[in-house]
Amino acid sequence: MAFGTTSSSHKSKKLAQSAAFFIFRLLSFSVVAILLVILGFILVQGISVISWEFLTEMPREGMTEGGIFPALVGTLCLVAGSMLFAFPIGILSGIYIHEYAKDSWFKRFVKLMTNNLAGVPSIVFGLFGMTLFVNQFGFGDSILAGSLTLGLLALPVVIRTTEESLKSIDDSFRIGSLALGATKWQTVSRVVLPMAFPNIITGLILSIGRVSGETAPILFTVAAYFLPKLPTSIFDQVMALPYHLYVISTSGTDIEASRAMAYGTAFVLILIVLLANLLANWLRRYFGKKVKMN
Amino acid sequence: MKRYFHNLGEKLIEGLITISGTVTSITVLLIVFFLFKEGLGIFSQSPVAEGSVIAVHQNNPVKELKAEEVKEIFDQNITNWKELGGPNAPIKLFSIDDITDYYTEEQIGANFEYLPQRLNELVAKEPNILAFFPEEYLAKDFKGHQIKLANVSLGDFLLGRQWYPTIQPAVQLGVLSLILGTLWVSLGAILIALPLGLASAIYLAEIANPKVRNILKPVIELLAGIPSVVYGFFGLVVIVPLIQDLFGLPVGETALAGSIVLGIMALPTIISVSEDAMRTTPRAMKEASLALGANKWQTIYKVIIPYSISGISTAAILGIGRAIGETMAVLMVTGNASVIPHTFLEPVRTIPATIAAELGEAPQGGIHYQALFALGCILFLMTLVINLTVDFVSTKKKENR
């Protein structure tokens, strides 16, 4: 009798487990399904718009015809500019936090501030970039102002990536190097950094994908509504892909007529992110290491 | 000598590294400084629309009005001076377009050269008038009394229900509907994202085999990488029409559309943070549970989830933080009506969307511009509180070990 009850409770336990696991599996796969639907939709609708002309021509007819060339070039400028700023400072800052800073209130403060900066909404970066770079420094709406704003936005990501990569290097390498008479900087630059390099570079590539799609920070610092020419200096305004997509899908001259252009632009944006992710995954496999991105 | 230079070089590099380390702190402090410098300016400016004058008869005891009262008067909700602490007499509203009711074109002059004089006369002879006209037509010897509008107070700003930053004659800068709109949409987002995200995190951490995991992890990373404007675009062309058809609404741009899009966007944060938390459950605890006869599911909900609850709450808070600050996607799908929301099927307007939509048109240094910065301050403080909470929760967790 006693044996019987155990068996039936065992059965109901098992049933509960199967049911729970089934639901979890279903929900997890629905997350994948969401991604596939979004990607599939944009890629299917966008592929027919993509052509050499679309990528290399100026927009025409109130942005309902032609291409996205100036926006593409603008985004490339902004990504290059922001990374030129964020990479060196972010990597050095990560080195400071993990290798140099003593365990003190100052280190805690720096870490707290970095975390806070990571949580600041992108539109606030836009407000800040506008007051500091556009107005205070007098850069005007320019590639310089936009790149610096985007660079600040990317900074916490770069710092965190560097920190995580440095954390994964075993302390015995540092101790060994120091024991051989190397200075702190020699240890960091010749032992630790080369080992952490693959992980750092993988994280950086992912952050490029993210910066290229940011819209809010560039709204008031660089992005032009319609500017069918290429920039000649860093003080020029440019069009940018994400802002262009926003404009033609919500406030263009003829929203219905520019739908095809919008699908094409979204396609290119997704493609940039996909390529960055694929490259990062490939590098990860190539270096045979796992990078943890937050 | 060589050694000396070597040391010098190293000192320089160390200096550079230290300076770089402080950049984020300096940035945060600068953000606070500039945001609040501009934002606080709103409390020292009069909410009269730029270049306008509101005037009454000089014997009228009403000397100061609130912006809200002016709007009520012009909407004809307040029609008697008594309601404003004046004499019991109906308010005679006058705006510059009404001038032809009182004077002929000759009297005003072909180029309005006599207009200041006429306005002066009119205000002097009408005891119950409330006149609103451009500042350039204010006569030098103006005999009426110019009404001072009370500066916007913190209470009016935070609790005011009207957001009409460009309305004549007095701008209305109440942000309650925007704050509630932001919270409303974010709450909806977290209600959608939390069950989905937690289930995925549990599946990834405890149930899935490594092969499935290796497929799912990059998928979630990719979900985090898609630009918000693409989410917004997808929402605009797919989710908005779907909601419109499904619920038979006049417009599909609703809080619900915003919540769905934001929920999808918050998923990667929630999944990765709570999965990491569950993975830190000590193996010994899990094995002890299994050894006591609990099955895997019982171990998950009686051991792993309670153990990692602080990590899970961190995930939820971070998810809300992402949703509150998100700009473009929300701007594109929520319809942006600045009304206090009652259901998820109404258009709402959030703080970030308001800043993004209006800053381009607000003249620099004006009260509208400063109000948008004040909104930025509110947004910044909201996310600051969230970040500090997360920091507090995770340090607490470390101390407990």
Residue B91, domain CATH: 3.40.190.10
Residue B99 forms part of a structural domain: yes
Rounded CA separation B264/A34 (Å): 8
Residue B17 forms part of a structural domain: no
The verdict on B238 and B316 lying in the same domain is yes
pLDDT tens-place string over residues A66-124: 888 999 999 999 999 999 999 999 999 999 999 888 888 888 889 889 988 988 999 99
Q: Does A109 contact chain B (CB < 8 Å)?
A: yes
Instruction: Report pLDDT for A3.
Output: 46
Q: Does A273 contact chain B (CB < 8 Å)?
A: yes
- Yes or no: say if A95 and A166 are a contact pair by the CB < 8 Å rule: yes
CB B386 to CB A119 under 8 A?
A: yes
Q: Scanning every residue of chain B, which has its alpha carbon at the shortest distance from the alpha carbon of A19? A: B297
CB A14 to CB B295 under 8 A?
A: yes
Mean pLDDT score, A142-165: 93
Q: Which of A:199-258 have CB within 8 Å of B?
A: 206, 209-210, 212-216, 219-220, 242-243, 245-246, 249-250
Contacts of B22 in chain A (CB under 8 A): 110
**Of residues B14, B27, B376, nearest to A185 (C-beta):** B14
Residue B170 forms part of a structural domain: no
Give CA torsion, residues B27, B32, B37, B42, to 10 deg.
140
**Of residues B10, B227, B295, nearest to A273 (C-beta):** B227
Instruction: Report pLDDT for A253.
Output: 65
pLDDT confidence band for A1 (50 / 70 / 90): very low
Residue B286 forms part of a structural domain: yes
Residue A38 forms part of a structural domain: no
The verdict on B191 and B71 lying in the same domain is no
B110 versus A191: the higher-pLDDT residue is A191
Residue B134 forms part of a structural domain: yes
Residue A91 forms part of a structural domain: yes
The residue from B115, B150, B185 where one domain ends is B150
The verdict on B71 and B186 lying in the same domain is no
Residue A5 forms part of a structural domain: no
Phi/psi for A191 (5° steps) reads -115, -55
Domain span including residue B207: 176-400
Rounded CA separation A256/A16 (Å): 51
CB B295 to CB A270 under 8 A?
A: no
Q: Scanning every residue of chain A, which has its alpha carbon at the shortest distance from the alpha carbon of B294? A: A13
The verdict on B259 and B311 lying in the same domain is yes
Contacts of B301 in chain A (CB under 8 A): 20
Amino acid in the structure at residue B221? E
Q: Give the mutation candidate from B14, B20, B186, B223 for the A interface (greatest A CB count, under 10 A).
A: B20
The verdict on B247 and B129 lying in the same domain is no
* CATH code where residue A171 lies: 1.10.3720.10
DSSP secondary structure of B113-140: TTHHHHHHHHHHH-TTEEEEEEGGG--T
Domain span including residue A243: 52-287
The total domain count for chain A is 1
Instruction: Report pLDDT for B220.
Output: 87
Q: What ipTM does the predicted assembly reach?
A: 0.90
pLDDT confidence band for A2 (50 / 70 / 90): very low
Residue A69 forms part of a structural domain: yes
- Per-residue pLDDT in tens (0 to 9) along chain B, 401 residues: 566 777 888 888 889 999 998 999 999 999 999 999 999 988 888 777 767 788 888 778 877 787 778 888 887 788 888 878 778 888 888 877 788 788 887 788 777 788 888 888 888 888 888 888 887 788 777 777 787 777 888 888 888 888 888 777 778 888 999 999 999 999 999 999 999 999 999 999 988 888 888 888 888 888 888 999 999 999 999 999 999 999 988 888 999 999 999 999 999 999 999 998 998 889 999 999 999 988 888 899 899 999 998 889 999 999 999 899 999 999 999 988 877 888 888 899 999 999 999 998 888 888 889 999 999 999 999 999 998 888 888 777 666 65
**SS3 state at B164:** strand
The verdict on B270 and B319 lying in the same domain is yes
**Of residues A20, A249, A281, nearest to B233 (C-beta):** A249
The total domain count for chain B is 2
Q: H-type helices in chain A, by residue range? A: 2-47, 52-56, 69-95, 105-119, 122-129, 143-167, 171-179, 184-187, 193-212, 241-246, 259-287
Q: Which residues contact B297 (CB under 8 A, 6 or more apart)?
A: A13, A16, A17, A20, A21
The verdict on B276 and B385 lying in the same domain is yes
Amino acid in the structure at residue A241? L
Residue B15 forms part of a structural domain: no
Q: Does A97 contact chain B (CB < 8 Å)?
A: yes
The verdict on B191 and B144 lying in the same domain is no
Distance from CA of A32 to the nearest CA of B (A): 7
Residue A23 forms part of a structural domain: no
Residue A252 forms part of a structural domain: yes
Phi/psi for A262 (5° steps) reads -65, -45
The residue from B134, B150, B166 where one domain ends is B150
User: Which class for A235: exposed (0-12), middle (13-18), buried (19 or more C-beta within 10 A)?
Assistant: middle
* CATH code where residue B203 lies: 1.10.3720.10
Q: Scanning every residue of chain B, which has its alpha carbon at the shortest distance from the alpha carbon of A217? A: B356
A233 versus A151: the higher-pLDDT residue is A151
